[in-house]
Each structure stands twice: as C-alpha cells, then as structure tokens.
Amino acid sequence: MQPVKLILIACLLGNSLLSCAQNNTNWKNKKCAVALTYDDALNIHLDQVIPALDSVGLKATFYLIGSSDAFTKRIPDWRKAAAKGHELGNHTLFHPCYGKRPGREWVRPERDLNNYTLQRMTDEIKMNSVLLEATDGKKKRTLACPCGDTKVQDSSYLYGLKNNFVGFRDGTPDANAVNPFAKVTVQWVTVFDNTGDQLIAAVKQAMEANALLVFVFHGVGGDHNINVSAAAHRQLLQFLKQQESQVWVAPFVEIAEYAKSK
Ligand SMILES: [Zn+2]
C-alpha cells in the first residue's frame, strides 16, 4: 500500500488530486500493470489462449513444466509463441509439490517435495531453464513455484535462485523478500470460474490502486480442473485492449525488470 499512501501525502501538501495521481503513476505512465500468466503447459494455451491474445496484440507469460506432454511434443509451437513476444516462464521440470497437504492426493511419491533435497530442487529448476533457453534463446525469465510451495524441508529454495531469475510469480514471504516489488502494491487473482465482469472489476481496482495485478490462469475453456470459460477470458482481453492507453499489459518478466529498474 506504500505508493497509495505516498500519493495521499503529496496531495495533502497542496497539489490537486488529479495532478498528484498523474505525477505518481508508475507503470510506463499508465494507471496499473497487468500480468496475464498461464500455468502448467496446456495444449489449450497453444490452441486457444495464444491465438486469442494475438488477436488483440497482448503478450503473456506461460509457466511451462519441462516434462509435460504439451511441452515435449510441441516445442516448435512454444518457440513460435516466444518469437511473438510471449514469455516462456519456468514452472520446474516435474512440478513437485507437498503431497501431504489437503487436496494433494494427486501428487505422486517421486514428485513429492517431502522426498526432495534443496539441491535436487534447484538443479531441476536450473535444468528447466536450460530447456527453455534452448527453446526460445532467452536468458531472462521468471519462475512460478508449483502449488505455491517454496520450501524443501524448512528451507526456501528461492534465495539460492535469486540470481537465476528476474522475479518470482508468487506472493509468499520468501518470494516477497527476493522480488523487486517492495515499493509496489501487488494484487492477485487466481482465476477459478470467475465471470468476465469479475475479472474486469479486478483490473478496475488495480487501476485505482496504481497496482501490479497478477492473473493466475490454468485452464481456459477446459483442459484443467482449475478453469475459466473462454467467454470470460475473451471479455477480459477485450477490456484490456480497450484500456491499453491506461493499462500496461506485459509478460511478468518485463514487469519485474521494469520494477527492478525503478
Ligand atoms: Zn502448476
């Protein structure tokens, strides 16, 4: 909330609210930044989401699992997506999560973070970056932690990876500690059956708060248990296109780099 407070203090010192808001706007002189992120390397991302984004000229981040079928069988398609300006984000090689948490029955023992070491986790994440670099030729990217789990035993694996990524798409305390967003209001929407109007309302709220808004998508029109309708997604994209003079939509890596440079 720091930037909002600063704006209010400046205004109390005598400037008009309007000019204060304009003078304190970050995000390339727009009202807010929006990161559209899509997790888990799904065929529907290539077949439906990227064409929808491209139709309105918006760029997004796709957090890819290196071992997934939709990645290994379609590397040329992901390469084309990257060439269009989308970020191929790192979502680890095998998507390990804590299997003992509620609702995690799907986690296989060999992919359970309880059975990992810190070294194995960081090695696998670095190898996934190598795989992604071989695909898109880029060295800079961001990481999204599977299931939002950031620790092996009691140690966070993010600190040791601080120099390997521009930023981490997570709001955990350790991600906050290493991310370049200390002076930024960050808002999150984990998209699960939201309506188009609800998604748009989140953008309007971010515009008012001068915030970075991060959308976390999985399925769009199917292909995942965590899903949103293609119509709601399309409605959001159309709104973002209409608001492009006021809302900066970019891959997460670009937004993190911008925040780092400030
Ligand atoms: Zn995931």
40 CA from centroid of ligand 1 (Å): 5
Residue 24: predicted pLDDT: 44
Would you list the DSSP string of 7-22?
A: HHHHHHTT--HHHHHH
| Average pLDDT of the residues in 95-115 | 95
Give the separation between CA 28 and CA 238, rounded to whole angstroms.
21
Residue 237 domain flag: yes
95 CA from centroid of ligand 1 (Å): 6
Residue 180 domain flag: yes
- With a cut of 60, say whether residue 105 has pLDDT above it: yes
Token duo for residue 249: 């939509």
Question: pLDDT band at 17, cuts 50/70/90?
Answer: very low
- With a cut of 50, say whether residue 257 has pLDDT above it: yes
Residue 243 domain flag: yes
- With a cut of 50, say whether residue 8 has pLDDT above it: no
Burial 223-238 (b: 16+ CB within 10 A, else e): bbeebbbbebbbbbbe
Please give the mean pLDDT across all residues of the chain. Answer: 91
The pLDDT tens digits of the residues spanning 19-41 come to: 333 334 489 999 999 999 999 99
16 CA from centroid of ligand 1 (Å): 45
- With a cut of 90, say whether residue 123 has pLDDT above it: yes
256 CA from centroid of ligand 1 (Å): 20
- With a cut of 90, say whether residue 97 has pLDDT above it: yes
Residue 20: predicted pLDDT: 34
- Phi/psi-derived region of residue 223, left when phi > 0, alpha when psi is between -120 and 50, beta in every other case: left
The pLDDT tens digits of the residues spanning 127-155 come to: 999 999 999 999 999 999 999 999 999 99
Residue 1 domain flag: no
How many folded domains does the chain comprise?
1
CATH number for the domain that contains residue 109: 3.20.20.370
126 CA from centroid of ligand 1 (Å): 17
Residue 37 domain flag: yes
Q: By C-alpha distance, which of 60, 43, 125 is closest to 91?
A: 125
| Phi, psi angle pair for 90, to nearest 5° | -90, 125
Residue 241 domain flag: yes
Could you tell me the residue range of the domain that residue 78 belongs to? 27-261
Residue 167 domain flag: yes
Question: pLDDT band at 11, cuts 50/70/90?
Answer: very low
Residue 15 domain flag: no
Token duo for residue 163: 């120099």
208 CA from centroid of ligand 1 (Å): 30
